[in-house]
Amino acid sequence: MATTKRNTNKHNRIITLGEVTNEHICETIQQIYEINNEDRSKESDKREPIKLILNSPGGDVYDGVGLIDVIEQSETPIHIYVHGQAQSMGFAIATAGHVRYASKRTTFMYHEISWETNREKLQYHEQELSEGKRLWQMYDDIIINNTKISQRKLDAVKRAHKEWYMTAEEAIEWGVIDEII
């Protein structure tokens, strides 16, 4: 299982992220806060960027949107470098960086959100369906606001009940990333 790790060299601040779990996201958020605190006396445009290295199969949507909120609020710029994969929730996180890069063989993937439900009464499932729709729209809004991808395109993927895979070159065309490295 992947972990987050902070490089101790303050001039080359690197955070790595794999699977989107509560533990990994909490560590990543803490590290971003610590770096922003270290930079508090610097003007925003004079801050050395945080390098968030992402290789993620995805994971928990709630945790992922929490990290995206922190990335968006960070006064220290966060540059995301995707190597290998940015799938599911990792895909949404990849779109959130102030500057976004990917290596040439990176695979990106968007699909329908999912989560487990237990054997419960119908009312419980209706509540969960409502929450799932709210969460899915939040997920889609992140992608729409950070890329050239429209709601119409995402709805077409949903109707097909498929995963939408894209290469780094396609990710450039769709505005998912800014540059291939």
Partnered with residue 17 across adjacent β-strands are 54
Asked if 79 and 12 touch (Cβ cutoff 8 Å), the reply is no
Listed in order, strand segments (DSSP E) in the chain are 14-17, 50-56, 78-87, 99-102, 107-110, 164-167, 179-180
Residue 90's closest CA among 121, 60, 133? 60
Tell me the per-residue pLDDT of 16-49, one tens digit each, with 9 for 90 and over: 999 999 999 999 999 999 999 999 999 988 999 9
Residue with tokens 């960027």: 49
pLDDT band at 1 (very low <50, low <70, confident <90, very high): very low
CATH classification number, 10-180, choose in 3.50.50.60, 3.90.226.10, 3.40.50.300, 3.50.4.10: 3.90.226.10
Token readout for 38 is 């270290």
Q: Calculate mean pLDDT across residues 111-135.
A: 82
